[in-house]
Amino acid sequence: MLRVPYPDLYAALHRATLHLGLRDDRAALCARLFAETTRDGVYTHGLARFPRFAAMVANGCIDIAAQPTRVSGAAALERWDGHRGPGNLNAHAAMQRAIELARLHGLGGVALANTNHWMRGGSYGWLAADAGLFALCWTNTLPNLPAWGASTPTVGNNPLVIAVPRANGEHIVLDMAISQFSYGAISAAAERGQQLPVPGGYDDAGHLTTDPAAIEASQRALPIGYWKGSGLSLVLDLLAAMLSGGQATHQLSADPARESGLSQIFLAIDPSSFATRPDLDRIATAIVDSLHDAPPIDPNHPARYPGEQTLHLRAENLRLGVPVDPTLWRNLLALTF
Amino acid sequence: MLRVPYPDLYAALHRATLHLGLRDDRAALCARLFAETTRDGVYTHGLARFPRFAAMVANGCIDIAAQPTRVSGAAALERWDGHRGPGNLNAHAAMQRAIELARLHGLGGVALANTNHWMRGGSYGWLAADAGLFALCWTNTLPNLPAWGASTPTVGNNPLVIAVPRANGEHIVLDMAISQFSYGAISAAAERGQQLPVPGGYDDAGHLTTDPAAIEASQRALPIGYWKGSGLSLVLDLLAAMLSGGQATHQLSADPARESGLSQIFLAIDPSSFATRPDLDRIATAIVDSLHDAPPIDPNHPARYPGEQTLHLRAENLRLGVPVDPTLWRNLLALTF
């Protein structure tokens, strides 16, 4: 792994987004969202995703020029069409609009149809939290998990983000897929010859297993909580598709290189009409303190809140350089994706 | 198990709520919420919960006369105080208010502090769905789950409800605690000498186990998805306590008979300004059909959506009588709880 200064990573990504045909502010924002994701330690969804992003521009799934438009709405709730533009730009615009609506109405919601993979969902949670707001957002995905009771992938892993702002910037941001492990994590463990830390799926004989190769063979990865995650995934898809009027998981291509036309929900909550930042912070700090004070199983690994490592990794990567895969980095500099 | 006609169950519960000191409409609604929960097959949270409800009236945790009041708010988002009144009446009022707000603003939210156990969370999802609205609601609870990495109960199982309306009344209602199994289910399996169907916690040696007695001994039940459910539980608590200004899980008594002063969130979504019922139904039906069409592992148990059994159980229990525990029923009739 190579470490490159953050400004260099951003500049190279910016050159790449311009090269793909994005213009002006949109090229800069798209590059920044990719660069910040890697900077914050979410390595699977930053630079590592850029080649697929470029491939989907090339194969026509992503329309680089398309901008999201408001279709309809009333007061706090709006329906938008992403016109299959870049997923991270669409999601950023949708959360920004939900924030505006929440500032007006206390709550703000945007249901976005016809969009593309939003890359790191946590980005939009951080966006709202940096603005001082709470947020919930989620996306549907291609079918990549068997519903509980089904033998083939039927539901999506539908990442869910919930963000809690703190005035000091140490936001609490849950960013989780509904699968216990991503297929990427399962493949990586299989390549390393390692077992998963907890059961991640079923083998072909129908037994729970921590063996990643057996799960790759059966294609029966687990939703979190078995039947519970299966149900959660389904209702997230229902809300996303019904409210946006867009596609549901069952309508999406099972080919990850053609996973396009997603539906997403963005909800922002602004309690500033009745709660002061210090009052909110006091409650959050007490909850975080109680978590940190819990007797740990391993004294070297106390309980942590979601996103707790983000600011630490961000600081480290800004100081030491952002870790990048040398081949990806070389290709990025050469504008060959 | 005895089966009693639904009207008899309701009448007996109504007599009991009047006996506890509830008045007029409130006594009727409280009784109806308990009775409907048992009628719908959620046996753990209906009549079976009534003795604890009565005990908490007796021990002062529940103020039978207290009614929820609006503390503050702006437009679509309000903060309410439950004044430690009956939890199901408070939750019903809060969701009813969220529905009203959503009809005005597209979205409606109520953050409720100082309330009590809402009994069956799904009741408030069904309330919104019967009104044609989508809803999300959740409650915090006493600390009953170790956070991921902690050895003692630190977070709540914080039930989460997500409701999707359908015009034919076949609503899709997820109603799930963040624990893999409730302590009630773990105890019941231990009493029957049965193993859990999937790992439900750790034993004292720190190994995942399906042995309910070992989990009772260690008190280390699992959140769904291990670290994922732990994080989800924490953020649900953060939103509930911060937005309502009420208590967080770490402030609640670990004694279930004194679990009072909870914080809850009720969000309703009304897309009627831009989506017709037939258009919404078409999308929902296609998603449900795709689930039902998935190849099942066991042909006798196809994949089901959350709440799919509710209307079936409701019809069966209305036809055959509602199953009740004979001792509970006798005590209810004798007004001895």
Same domain, A99 and A149: yes
Rounded alpha-carbon distances, angstroms, from residue B196 to A147, B176, B192, B200:
20, 18, 11, 7
Torsion of CA A58, A60, A61, A65, to 10 degrees: 90
Question: Are A250 and B287 in contact (CB < 8 Å)?
Answer: yes
Question: Are B270 and A71 in contact (CB < 8 Å)?
Answer: no
Q: Which of B74, B147, B237 sits opposite A294 (nearest CB)?
A: B147
Which residues of chain A from 57 to 76 reach within 8 Å of chain B, CB to CB? 71-76
Residue B8 resides in a domain: yes
Q: Which of A147, A236, A241 sits opposite B283 (nearest CB)?
A: A241
The model carries a pTM of 0.98
Question: Are A176 and B228 in contact (CB < 8 Å)?
Answer: yes
Catalytic residue among A14, A45, A117, A171: A45
CA A155 to chain B, closest CA, distance in angstroms equals 8
Residue B272 resides in a domain: no
Q: Is B243 on the interface with A (CB under 8 A)?
A: yes
CA A329 to chain B, closest CA, distance in angstroms equals 31
pLDDT tens string, chain B, 337 residues long: the values are 899 999 999 999 999 999 999 999 999 999 999 999 999 999 999 999 999 999 999 999 999 999 999 999 989 999 999 999 999 999 999 999 999 999 999 999 999 999 999 999 999 999 999 999 999 999 999 999 999 999 999 999 999 999 999 999 999 999 999 999 988 889 999 999 999 999 999 999 999 999 999 999 999 999 999 999 999 999 999 999 999 999 999 999 999 999 999 999 999 999 999 999 999 999 999 999 999 999 999 999 999 999 999 999 999 999 999 999 999 999 999 999 8
Residue B312 resides in a domain: yes
Residue B186 resides in a domain: no
DSSP 8-state secondary structure symbol assigned to residue B49? G
Same domain, A75 and A156: yes
Q: Is B199 on the interface with A (CB under 8 A)?
A: yes
Domain encompassing residue A327: 1-58+312-337
Residue A33: CATH number of its domain: 1.10.1530.10
CA A268 to chain B, closest CA, distance in angstroms equals 11
Residue A305 resides in a domain: no
Q: Cβ of B298: how many Cβ atoms within 10 Å?
A: 9
**């200004």: which residue's tokens?**
B245
Same domain, A72 and A43: no
Residues in A closer than 8 angstroms to B251, CB to CB, are 286
Same domain, A21 and A94: no
Indicate the pLDDT class of residue A337, thresholds 50, 70 and 90. confident
For B74, the enclosing helix (H) or strand (E) is strand B69-74
Which residues of chain B from 77 to 116 reach within 8 Å of chain A, CB to CB? 77-79, 104-109, 111
Specify the number of domains making up chain A.
2
List all residues 6 or more positions away from A20 whose beta carbon is below 8 Å from its beta carbon.
Answer: A54, A57, A64
Token digits for A157?
Answer: 């892993």
ipTM of the complex: 0.98
Residue B108 resides in a domain: no
> Please, are residues A125 and A99 in contact by the beta-carbon 8 Å criterion?
no
Residue A213 resides in a domain: no
Question: Are A107 and B107 in contact (CB < 8 Å)?
Answer: yes
Question: Are B150 and A243 in contact (CB < 8 Å)?
Answer: no
Give the model confidence (pLDDT) of A140-194 as tens digits: 999 999 999 999 999 999 999 999 999 999 999 999 999 999 888 899 999 999 9
List all residues 6 or more positions away from B215 whose beta carbon is below 8 Å from its beta carbon.
Answer: B186, B200, B201, B202, B203, B209, B221
Same domain, A230 and A85: yes
Q: Is A127 on the interface with B (CB under 8 A)?
A: no
Q: Is A174 on the interface with B (CB under 8 A)?
A: yes
